[in-house]
Every structure is written in structure tokens, then in C-alpha cells.
Chain A
Amino acid sequence: MTPGPLAYFLVAAFGIGAVVSGWLVFRTDSMLRAAYWLMVSFVAVGAMLVVLDAQFLGLILILMMSGEMTIMAIFMIMFMMNPAGLNPMTMVHQHRTSIIAGVGSFLVLAWVGVVAEFPNRPAPLEDPTIALGEELLGRSMLVFESAGVALLAVMIGAIALAAKQGRFGDAFEGSEEPDMDVASGDRT
């Protein structure tokens, strides 16, 4: 894609879209909508990256976020079996803390954006797949490998927690509620 007025316009449009949908996360009354507005926001950021010729990065961002937001929605909704929000609920609470945190992080990011010197390295014209491969196994190898080991540890931990022979007995036996009368401090 050749950068032209269209590209500038698209980047601006997706940027505004990302901000507006991010704002809408807090303006809805349903957890599902909040989760998916957040996803729309991330998709807009991914689209900005695609317009900026970082296609792989942009698409991977969209791919990852769609899965993640659904997992997030499921976790939120697990706490609340409330289809479509029969009872609506507010998405904002702890006002003072969140205002301070929000304004603070905005100021920090804006300061970084104004002060930092961004490198000026135009993307190489070769195939992005090759470029990506060289990046992964070249300069950034240490970063990716340590992230990879950390993720592997998390995966092993998750499997250990979710294994068939868990604390509640064989997973294929159905999931009847266990007796809660053990003196373990379970809140009932």
C-alpha cells in the first residue's frame, strides 16, 4: 500500500474509532458489550498497524485479541449467569481511584510520546515473513525465548490445575458440587 492522503485518513479514522470504542467500554450496561467494545478498540488498533504496512503485526493483534476478549467475557459472565443482562449493571465503580489512575497514565504516555525520539528505520522491502523470521531468531531471540519459557511454565501450571485427576475427583464423573463442610475456611 502506498502511503498517501488515504493512508493518513485511514490511520486517523481507526485511531478515533479505537478511542471512541474504548470510551464506550465504560458507557454500556452489559458485561458482554463492555468486553466486545474493548475488542473493537483493539481491532481498530490492529487495523491502524495494517494501514501502516505492518500487516502481520496488525492481523496477529486482531487474531489474539478476539480470542482473549471472549475468554475475558466468559470469565466475567461465569460470575454472573445473566443472559443479555436481564438486569443491567453499571460498568464503572471506584471512581476516585480510576480517575487518578486514568489521568496519570494518560499524562505519562503523552509525555513519552512528546519527548521520546522514535527511530527512523523504514521497513525492509523483502518478504515480511523472512523479515519476521530473522527478527525472531536474530536480534530479539533472547526476549522471545524468555517469554516462551515463561509461557510454557504457565501452560504446565494450568494443565496441572485442570488435569483430569483434580482436587474434585475424576473430571469425567460429572461436576457435582463437593461437600463444603471441610474446615478449610471456604466461604459459604
Chain B
Amino acid sequence: MTALGILVQVMALLVVGAYIFVVADRLMVGTETGVRAALVYPVRRLSFLLLQPVTTTERPDFEAWILAPSLLFGLAAVGAVPIPLDAPSAGGDIPAGLVLFGAAMLIVLVAVYIFGWAPNSALPMIGGYRFAAMVLSVGIPFSLVVLTTAIPAESLSVGMIVEAQSNLWFVIEQPLGLPIYLVTAAAIAFWGPFDLPEGSDLAGGIAAEASGPRLATWRFARAALMVTLALMGQAVFLGGYLGPVLPGWLWTVIKTLILLVILASAGRTLARMRVQRFVWFGWVILLPLALVDVFLSGWIAL
């Protein structure tokens, strides 16, 4: 596939996925009277935000503030590139795709941090600090569980990892993998019980000073990030495009949607975790579990 083709495919995927995610989330809150209202919600919301001007604060870091939302979306797109949607027809697979994904997801920290720093305001800045503490705590378990899937596949290419699951999906072979992945992925997308940087106790945190198209881009980029994380989750744990009867791409879509709905509902039904407890949770619970995951999988693979 040409580079342009990949670009169009990833963009289309993220836009449609983000729309579905926002609608699913809207249904979870339970404010709307029906599915129809939830279906038009993203359109109405976007229209309003496009009518709002972008406000500014006193002496913001102007360029950084403009850069952050596009950087976040760019990272979501880069992370989605190495994930195969269907059985690869001919080549096109990135050899170190898993590392590319990992690098993109850890740079999310940079995007979020500068988005909180740039407005020159206290509450967004606290949001940025919180996110730094969070990612430093879960970055290692996140990388470990993702990289562990490369052990049985003996390759860092995502396509090869999917192929390695033709007998047994890694969600069963590495039972600790998917739960840890979902928890850390929600934290990296500052979603769900881990929306500390944007928490209501910070009046919106990093996004508190953003308005209009800037806020719209930011929200869209975050939804796209969720889609990328769900895509990777289904590829490395749920066997990606593998499945009976239906065509491969449809399996990818179905599995991605399942993970998106799980993430959306967890985000709306669980209370936000305190920063302190979260840092403890990351280092004391998730990191050892992720190490156990690595050792067990390595042992099984040998």
C-alpha cells in the first residue's frame, strides 16, 4: 500500500472511531433521552465549538498551546500506522511496529504536559504535573505488557504478533496482559477513572482554559488516541483480524468496538482515583504484575 493510502486509511479510521467513541460515551452518561440524540451529539457539540472563538490568557506560551492538540492527534495517528486491519496481502508491515507504537504513546506525555503548561494558569499546570506523575508510574508496566506479546511471536512486527495468535489468542495465553493493558491504556489516554489531568476537581484541568476549535481539536485528538489504544489492544491480545466466517477487517472493527465500549463504560462507572493512590497502584501493584506477566510468558514460550 502506498504511503498516501495508509494515511487516508488511518485518518478515516480515527475519525469514524472517534465519532463512535464519543457517541458510546454519551450513552453511558445517561443524560440523553435516546440513541438519536446521542448520535447527533458530536455534530451539535462540534458546531458550537466552531462558533466559539479561541480565547487566550495573560502571556501564554502561544506556540506550544497551538502545537499540543495537533501533536496529540499526530501521535494517535502514528501509533495506529503499524496496526494491520486485515491479513497483509503483500508486505507493508513495519518490522519494529510495536516499538513505534510504544514511542508514540509515551510522547503523549509531552503533548499533555505542554497543553497544561502553555495557558500560564495554575489549574491546567497542576493537571500537567498530575499526568507526568501518572505516566512515569504506568509507563513501564504499559511497555512491558505490550512488548511481552512479542516473545511468543518472536517478532516486534504487529502483523507477526497477530499471526502468532492463530492457535490461541494472547488474552488467554497471557492472562495478565489485557487487564494491565486496559488499565494503563486508560491512564495514558487520561480517561476513565484516571482522568486526573482533566478532572472535575480541577475544573477541567489542562483543558480548563481552552475554548472553541482548540478544545474541539483536543477532545477529538483524545478520542482518536482511545481508538488507537483499542486497536492495538485487540491486535496484540484478541487476535486482531483472525476469526471465523467474517472477513478479517470486520473482526478488527468488532474487537476494537468491544474494547472501546469497555473503556467508555469503565470511565463512567468508576470513581476517579486520587493521584497518590494511583502512583502507589502503578508502582506497587501494576509493575510487579507486569513483571510476572513477562516471566510467565517467557517461560511458556521457552
Contact = CB atoms under 8 A, between A and B. Distances in A.
Contact of A67 (B60, B94, B100, B139): B139
Interface residues of B, number: 36
The 6 lowest CB-CB distance pairs between A and B, nearest first, are: A84-B120, A63-B103, A59-B99, A84-B61, A55-B96, A66-B107
A52 interface: no
Contacts of A30: 61
Interface string A51-90: 0000110011011001101110110000001011110000
Interface in A1-38: 30, 32-33, 36
A86 B139 CA distance: 31
Contacts of B109: 66-67, 70
A111 interface: no
Most chain-A Cβ atoms within 10 A of its Cβ — which of B64, B96, B139, B156?
B96
A70 B107 CA distance: 9
Contacts of B121: 83
Contact of B120 (A56, A86, A128, A172): A86
Interface of B: 58-61, 64, 94-96, 99-100, 102-103, 106-107, 109-110, 113-114, 117-122, 124-125, 129, 132, 135-136, 139, 150, 154-156, 276
Contacts of A74: 129, 132
B294 to A, nearest CB: 15
Contact of B100 (A32, A59, A71): A59
Given A32-B61, A32-B64, A63 B95 contact: no
Contacts of A66: 103, 106-107, 109-110
Contact of A59 (B64, B103, B118, B132): B103
Nearest to A74: B132
Interface of A: 30, 32-33, 36, 39, 55-56, 59-60, 62-63, 66-67, 69-71, 73-74, 81, 83-86, 127-130, 171-172
B95 A36 contact: no
A67 to B, nearest CB: 6
A84 B107 contact: no
A70 B109 CA distance: 8
B77 to A, nearest CB: 16
Given A36-B114, A70-B109, 20 more contacts: A36-B64, A36-B110, A55-B95, A59-B99, A62-B107, A66-B103, A66-B109, A67-B139, A71-B132, A83-B117, A83-B119, A83-B120, A83-B121, A83-B124, A84-B117, A84-B118, A85-B120, A86-B59, A127-B95, A128-B156
